[in-house]
Amino acid sequence: MTPALFVQSAIIGVSLGSIYILMALGLTLMFGMMHIINFAHGAVYMLGAFVIYYVFFQGGMPYFVAFVASMVLLGIFGYLVERSIYRPIKGGIEPTLVALLALTTFLQAAGYPVFGQLDKHVPPVFPGTRNILGVGISIERLMIIPVAAALVIGLYLFINNTRLGAAMRAIEQDKEAAALQGVNVHVVNGLAFAIGFALAAASGALMAPIFKLDPMMGEQPLLKAFIIIILGGLGSIPGAILGGLMLGLIDSIVATALGAEPAFLLSFVFIIMLLLFRPTGLFGYAS
Amino acid sequence: MLEVENLWVRYGTVEAVKGVSFSVPAGSIVSLIGANGAGKTTSLRALTGLVKPGAGELRFGSTSLVGLAPHQVVGLGIAHVPEGRRLFPKMTVLENLTMGAYRRSRADVASTLIMVYEHFPILKERGRQLAGSLSGGEQQMLAIARALMSRPKLLLLDEPSMGLSPIMTAEVGKIIRQINALDVSIILVEQNAMLALTLAQYGYVLQTGQLVMQGKAQDLLRDEGVKKAYLGL
C-alpha cells in the first residue's frame, strides 16, 4: 500500500467511522437508559436516506432543508414509537425487542411497494474531489466528517449542560430515583427515542448521495453499530465514538489493502480479541 | 395533612400491605416501625406512586394521590428518600442536589441551595466530588439534602440510619429534628425503633403487612411488647 493510498483510505475511514458513530450513539443512549437494543435503527437509517431522495432529489428542495427534514421527521417518529410501542409495554425488555423487530420487518417490507422495486439513486450534492496531501478525496465523503462532528458535539453539550440532558443521565443511573426527583420518565425516554432516531436518520441522509437506496440498505450499518456499542461498552457515549472511529478505519484501510471480505472478517477478529481482554468493552463497566 | 386509609398493595401473589391506615398531622414526625417485610417500605412506595395500590385511599390535603405518577407526587410537595439512598453515583454532589430541584426554577434552586448548605456544610465542601465517592454517612446526608431541594411539605425517609455508625446515626437524628423545625412534616420508616420513637411524636407498628399497634411515641417506648420485640430491652 502506497502512502498516498493509505492517507486516502484513512480519511475515508474517518468519514465512514463518522456514519457509524451517528448510528451507534442513539443505540447506546437508548440502551443506557432503557436497556433495549433498537433493532429498528437500520430501518430508520433507510427512511432517513429516502427522505433525501424525495425531498431533495424529487422535491427539488435544497439538500440542507431535506437533511433537517429527515432528522425532524424521524425524530418525531421516534417519539411516537416510544409512545405507542415502548410505553404501553411498560418496561418489559423482551416484548419491546420483539415489537421493535416487528417494526423493522414492517418498515422494510413496506419499503418495496412504497418506494418501488428498483434501487434509487440520489445525485451528488457536493460533486468533485479535493486534493489532500497529494491524493484526491471525494468532497461528498469529506463533508460527512464536519457534519457528524457538529452533531456529536451538539449531543454532548445537550447531555452535559441542560436540564433534560441531566434527566437523561439520571435515568441512565437510576430510573426510579430520577422519577422521585420529579423527572417525567416517559417524556425523557421519548426524547431519547427521538434523538436516537434523528441521528440514525442523519447518517442515512449523509450516505444517500453516496450509496444506492433500497429498503434493506440499513442492515449493514445496523450490524456495524451493534459491533461498535459492544466494542465501546454498552451505554457508553465515548465508547461509541472511539469504537466507531476504529471500525471505520479498519473497514476502510483493510478493505483497501486486502479487500472487503477480509476487512469484515478482521473487524470481528479484532473485537473478539478485545473482548477477551476487556469483556465490558473499551469504556464499559460491570454492573 | 396526609391520610392513608385501608391501603392494600400486592406484589404478584404476595400481599405486602394488608389494609393499613395511618395519618400524619401537619408539622409532625410520624414513624412506621417493624421488622423486615412488615410493609413499611411498600407503604411509602405506594404514597409516591412507585407501586400501584390494590385498594385504599391516599389523601394529601384534599388531593388524592392514587393513580399519580412519582413526578406528579413530587410536584405536590412530597419528597421521598428511598431505602438505600439511591443517589446518582456518577454525578457530582452539586448535580445530585440540582436534580432534587428538577421541577423548580433556576432562581429557586440557587436560594434553596444556600439554605441546604447551611444545614449540610460538608456537602458544600464536597460539591465537585462524585456522589459515589462519598462515605456512607455523607451519602445519607446528600440523599436527605437532595430531597429538601424540592422544598417539600412532607418528607418520607426510608431507613435513614441503615448502615451508619452510632455517631452518624445520632447526626442523622439531629438533622431530622432540624428539618422538622422548618415546618416539614416527616414520615420516618426505621428498623432502628429506638431512634424512630425518640424522634417521632406518634408511631405505628407494622407486622407482616398489618398494623398491630399505634400510639404516642413515648407510650410505645414504654410498652412492654414493643420493648421486647423492637427495642431489644
Whole-angstrom distance, CA of residue B20 vs CA of residue B43 = 8
Which residues from A are below 8 Å from B103, CB to CB?
A: 182
Whether A134 has a pLDDT exceeding 90, the answer reads no
Which of left, alpha, beta for A134 (phi over 0: left; psi -120 to 50: alpha)?
left
- What is the tens place of the pLDDT at every residue in A215-259? 999 999 999 999 999 999 999 999 999 999 999 999 999 999 998
Question: Residue B108: what residue type?
Answer: D
- What is the tens place of the pLDDT at every residue in B120-136? 999 999 999 999 999 99
- Residue A286 pLDDT class (50, 70, 90 cuts): low
Query: Which of A173, A181, A185 minimises the CB distance to B74?
Result: A181
Question: Does some domain include residue B14?
Answer: no
Comparing CA positions, the residue from A57, A208, A43, A66 lying closest to residue A112 is A43
- Give the containing element (helix H, strand E) for B14: strand B14-24
Query: Which of B50, B90, B99 minimises the CB distance to A181?
Result: B99
Query: Which of B71, B98, B146 minimises the CB distance to A166?
Result: B98
Nearest chain A Cα distance for residue B206, angstroms: 24
Comparing CA positions, the residue from A278, A189, A227 lying closest to residue A24 is A227
Nearest chain B Cα distance for residue A176, angstroms: 8
Whole-angstrom distance, CA of residue B151 vs CA of residue B131 = 21
- What is the tens place of the pLDDT at every residue in A141-176? 999 999 999 999 999 999 999 999 999 999 999 999
Query: Which of B50, B88, B100 minimises the CB distance to A173?
Result: B88
- Contact criterion met (CB below 8 Å) for B127 and B142: no
- Contact criterion met (CB below 8 Å) for A16 and A248: yes
Half-sphere exposure of A177 (CA within 13 A, CB side): 27
Ranges under pLDDT 50 in chain B: none
Question: Residue B192: what residue type?
Answer: N
- What is the tens place of the pLDDT at every residue in B195-206? 999 999 999 999
Which residues from A are below 8 Å from B87, CB to CB?
A: 174, 177
Q: Are B102 and A173 within 8 A, CB to CB?
A: no
Which residues 133-152 of B have a C-beta within 8 angstroms of A? 146, 150
Here the ipTM equals 0.94
Crossing angle for the helix pair B93-100 and B136-148, to the nearest 10 degrees = 30
Whole-angstrom distance, CA of residue B72 vs CA of residue A183 = 9
Q: Give pLDDT, residue B106.
A: 87
Question: Residue A81: what residue type?
Answer: V
Whether A79 has a pLDDT exceeding 90, the answer reads yes
Q: Give pLDDT, residue B232.
A: 73
What is the torsion angle, in degrees rounded to the nearest 10, for the CA atoms of residue A165, residue A171, residue A177 and residue A178?
40
Percent of chain B predicted with pLDDT > 90: 89
Query: Which of B48, B79, B102 minimises the CB distance to A183?
Result: B102
- Contact criterion met (CB below 8 Å) for B70 and B48: yes
Q: Are A177 and B102 within 8 A, CB to CB?
A: no
List chain A domain ranges.
18-216
Whole-angstrom distance, CA of residue A26 vs CA of residue B148 = 34
Question: Does some domain include residue B93?
Answer: yes
Q: Provide the CA A48 distance to its chain's centre, in angstroms.
A: 11
Please tell me which residue of chain A has the smallest CA distance to B97. Answer: A181
Whether A70 has a pLDDT exceeding 90, the answer reads yes
Which residues 94-113 of B have a C-beta within 8 angstroms of A? 95, 98-100, 102-103
Strand-pair category, A135-138 with B63-64: unpaired
Please tell me which residue of chain A has the smallest CA distance to B104. Answer: A182
- What is the tens place of the pLDDT at every residue in A175-220? 999 999 999 999 999 999 999 999 999 999 999 999 999 999 999 9
Whole-angstrom distance, CA of residue A7 vs CA of residue B57 = 71
Which of left, alpha, beta for A162 (phi over 0: left; psi -120 to 50: alpha)?
beta
CB-based contact (8 Å) between B83 and chain A? no
What's the alpha-carbon Rg for chain A, to the nearest Å?
19
Question: Does some domain include residue B227?
Answer: no
Please tell me which residue of chain A has the smallest CA distance to B51. Answer: A176
Please tell me which residue of chain B has the smallest CA distance to A185. Answer: B71
Q: Give pLDDT, residue A2.
A: 86
Choose from A181, A186, A283, A287 for mutation: most chain B CBs within 10 A.
A181
Q: Cell 407486622 appears where?
A: B207
Choose from B41, B44, B52, B71 for mutation: most chain A CBs within 10 A.
B71
Enclosing domain of residue B136: 86-145
Nearest chain B Cα distance for residue A26, angstroms: 20
Q: Are A173 and B90 within 8 A, CB to CB?
A: yes
Looking at per-residue pLDDT, the higher value among B39 and A284 belongs to B39
- Contact criterion met (CB below 8 Å) for A200 and A46: no
Query: Which of B71, B91, B95 minimises the CB distance to A182?
Result: B71
- Contact criterion met (CB below 8 Å) for A30 and A36: yes
Whole-angstrom distance, CA of residue A275 vs CA of residue A134 = 38
User: A-side interface with B, Cβ within 8 Å?
Assistant: 163, 166-167, 169-170, 173-174, 176-185
Whole-angstrom distance, CA of residue A240 vs CA of residue A227 = 10
Which residues from B are below 8 Å from A169, CB to CB?
A: 88, 90-91
Q: Give pLDDT, residue A260.
A: 84
Q: Are A183 and B88 within 8 A, CB to CB?
A: no
Which residues from A are below 8 Å from B74, CB to CB?
A: 180-182
Whole-angstrom distance, CA of residue A95 vs CA of residue A73 = 26
**Residue range A21-40: mean pLDDT, rounded:** 96
Looking at per-residue pLDDT, the higher value among A268 and A152 belongs to A152
Mean of the per-residue pLDDT values of chain B: 94
Looking at per-residue pLDDT, the higher value among A131 and B139 belongs to B139
Q: Are A173 and B82 within 8 A, CB to CB?
A: no
Whole-angstrom distance, CA of residue B33 vs CA of residue B130 = 33
Q: Provide the CA A111 distance to its chain's centre, in angstroms.
A: 20
Which residues 19-48 of B have a C-beta within 8 angstroms of A? 48
> Residues with Cβ < 8 Å from B24, sequence gap 6 or more?
B1, B2, B30, B154, B185, B187
What is the torsion angle, in degrees rounded to the nearest 10, for the CA atoms of residue A10, residue A14, residue A15 and residue A19?
140
- Contact criterion met (CB below 8 Å) for B210 and B18: yes
Half-sphere exposure of A72 (CA within 13 A, CB side): 7
- Give the containing element (helix H, strand E) for B157: strand B154-158
Whole-angstrom distance, CA of residue A74 vs CA of residue A96 = 19
Whole-angstrom distance, CA of residue A93 vs CA of residue A91 = 6
Helix boundaries (H) for chain B = 40-47, 70-76, 93-100, 106-119, 121-125, 136-148, 166-181, 193-199, 217-222, 224-226
How many domains does the structure of chain B reveal? 1
Please tell me which residue of chain A has the smallest CA distance to B74. Answer: A182
**Residue range A272-278: mean pLDDT, rounded:** 88
- Contact criterion met (CB below 8 Å) for B6 and B55: yes
Whether A287 has a pLDDT exceeding 70, the answer reads no
Helix boundaries (H) for chain A = 3-34, 41-52, 63-81, 87-89, 93-115, 139-161, 163-173, 175-180, 185-207, 219-232, 237-249, 255-258, 260-277
Strands, sheet with B2-11, edge to edge from the N-terminal-most edge strand: B14-24, B2-11, B55-60, B63-64
